[in-house]
Structure formats: C-alpha cells, structure tokens
C-alpha cells in the first residue's frame, strides 16, 4: 500500500486529486472513497469491532432490537440495508464504515478535533471501482446493468437480503468481499457530507487488514501534526466546517466552540 506524507497544503491537494482524470468520459472524476481520521494510528475498524467482546454474535441482537424499538417512520423501506444505514447514522454499532466522495470533507474530519492537533492525521483513499472488480460475478453484472460504480440501496436489497446472505458472500467469492454503497438521504448531514459507506462480508475483519492483501487499491496520506492548523483554518475559510456538515444547532455549537477555542 502506498503511504505518503505531505508537507504543505498544496502537496495535500495534489495527492488527494491525483488520478482523478477519467479518460473514458473526459472529465476529472475521482474513483476514490475518502476517510479522514484525526490520528494516523487509528485503524479502519467499524463501530461493531470497537464494541469489543463477542461482537460478531451481538450484531444480530443489536439490529433486531433496533428494528423493534425504533419507529418504523425512520426508514423509507423495511429492508436490511435501510435499517443498517439508519442504525449506523444514529450511532448503533454496525459493520458499516463511513466514507465521503469529497476530499475536503475528509480533510475536515482529519482536522476537526483540536485536542489531537499534536498527533499526525490521515486520509485514507480507496479506489472503489477497482474494489468492485473483486465482487462476485452476479453483483458485478448488476452494477454493469445499472451503469453504476457504486451499489444503490435498491441494488443492495435485490442482491443481499439478510446478514446470512452477506456472510455467505465469502464462500461465493472465495475471499472476504468489500462493497461500497450509497445510503438513503436520511437528512442534510448525509447530503452535505457527500457520504457513502462500505461494508464487509466478514464482520470481524478491519478494512485495513483486507487492504494489506490488495495494496494496489489504497493510498494512505499522512498529515503531519504541524500542518493541521493551516489546513483547519483554510477549510474554515472555505466554509467546510461543522456548521455546514452537521446542519442544526448542535453542529453550529460545535463549530463555534472549536472556532473560538484558544490556540494550543
């Protein structure tokens, strides 16, 4: 896997937008999913893995009870992927990992926590188009029929209708499968963050472990601690902040608290 340490704002832009030219359509359209983390040592672990204990067995109990107690109106359709997406959005531990199409949103999440300005941050970039070339044939066929690069919820529901079916993809493909899909636009946060998700057929595996076997799919861009303040201030000037990415009074309050915190 390519690991790059940037040393300036300009260098970071070059690395994030590298390989974005798409000769086939004649446009600059990146095929990478981005995920920003405030600590470069953090792994690509799901909230389910971070739950600890016998979390693989607990997954079904968590989702079953979420569906039981959550009001039906919170989902657009009573399906596995609608429920998983809503559960992830509201903080339930799931095997879903959040990503964004936007390099600037990823930069925000890598620099939003001022308590970690003493630590190097990281932005992971994963080529989701190449990752999908490793999907089982029936899923690749569905993407091709749809003319899509990322699975929609409709395609997910048509292809995989249960956690058992998701787990069984390991057997069908001969290895762990990683799927990128777009969640429903539950609220403005998902829309403004240009968000989409990944999910793995093996709930016990962290995505960075999977990427060790497929290093050609990913780039790991390290942001030195000394560069975080400049990035943060320039993102705020560009209006990429909590007030926009988390619409509502809580996002506004988070932005103001960080914006007016004394320099550290």
The H-assigned helical ranges of 97-224 are: 103-111, 128-132, 137-146, 153-159, 163-167, 169-173, 188-192, 207-212
Contact in structure between 107 and 235 (CB atoms under 8 Å): yes
Q: Tell which residue, 16, 41, 44, has the closest CA to residue 231.
A: 16
Q: Is the pLDDT of residue 8 over 90?
A: yes
- Residue 73 and residue 69: Cα distance in Å, rounded? 12
Contact in structure between 184 and 76 (CB atoms under 8 Å): yes
Domain membership flag for residue 264: no
Q: Is the pLDDT of residue 71 over 80?
A: no
Q: What is the mean pLDDT of residues 196-205?
A: 94
Q: Tell which residue, 128, 105, 123, has the closest CA to residue 197.
A: 128
Q: What is the mean pLDDT of residues 60-72?
A: 87
Q: Is the pLDDT of residue 197 over 80?
A: yes
For 204-260, the pLDDT digits (tens) are 999 999 999 999 999 999 999 999 999 999 999 999 999 999 999 999 999 999 988
User: Domain count of the chain?
Assistant: 1
Domain membership flag for residue 163: yes
For 119-139, the pLDDT digits (tens) are 999 999 999 999 999 999 999
Contact in structure between 182 and 152 (CB atoms under 8 Å): yes
For 86-97, the pLDDT digits (tens) are 899 889 999 999
Domain membership flag for residue 237: yes
Domain membership flag for residue 213: yes
Q: Is the pLDDT of residue 76 over 80?
A: no
Domain extent for 62 = 2-259
Q: What is the mean pLDDT of residues 22-48?
A: 92
Q: Tell which residue, 21, 206, 50, has the closest CA to residue 124.
A: 206
Q: Return the structure tokens found at 222.
A: 């390290």
Q: Tell which residue, 82, 90, 178, 194, has the closest CA to residue 132.
A: 178
């Amino acid at each position: 896997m390519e690991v790059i340490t940037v040393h300036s704002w300009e260098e970071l832009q070059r690395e994030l937008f590298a390989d974005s030219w798409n000769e086939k359509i004649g446009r600059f359209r990146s095929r990478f999913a981005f995920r920003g983390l405030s600590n470069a040592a953090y792994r690509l672990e799901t909230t389910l893995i971070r739950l600890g204990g016998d979390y693989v067995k607990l997954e079904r109990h968590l989702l079953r009870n979420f569906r039981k107690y959550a009001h039906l109106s919170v989902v657009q359709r009573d399906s596995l992927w609608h429920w998983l997406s809503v559960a992830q959005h509201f903080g339930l531990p799931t095997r879903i990992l959040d990503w964004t199409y936007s390099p600037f949103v990823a930069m925000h999440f890598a620099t939003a926590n001022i308590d970690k300005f003493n630590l190097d941050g990281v932005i992971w970039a994963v080529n989701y188009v190449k990752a999908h070339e490793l999907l089982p044939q029936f899923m690749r066929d569905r993407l091709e029929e749809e003319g899509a690069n990322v699975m929609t919820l409709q395609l997910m529901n048509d292809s995989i209708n249960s956690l058992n079916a998701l787990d069984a993809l390991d057997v069908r493909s001969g290895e762990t499968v990683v799927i990128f899909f777009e969640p429903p636009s539950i609220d403005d946060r998902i829309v403004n963050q240009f968000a989409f998700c990944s999910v793995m057929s093996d709930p016990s595996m962290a995505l960075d472990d999977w990427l060790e076997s497929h290093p050609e799919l990913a780039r790991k861009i390290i942001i030195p601690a000394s560069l975080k303040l400049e990035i943060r201030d320039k993102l705020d000037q560009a209006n990429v902040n909590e007030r926009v990415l988390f619409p509502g009074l809580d996002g506004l309050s988070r932005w103001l608290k960080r914006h007016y915190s004394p320099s550290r």
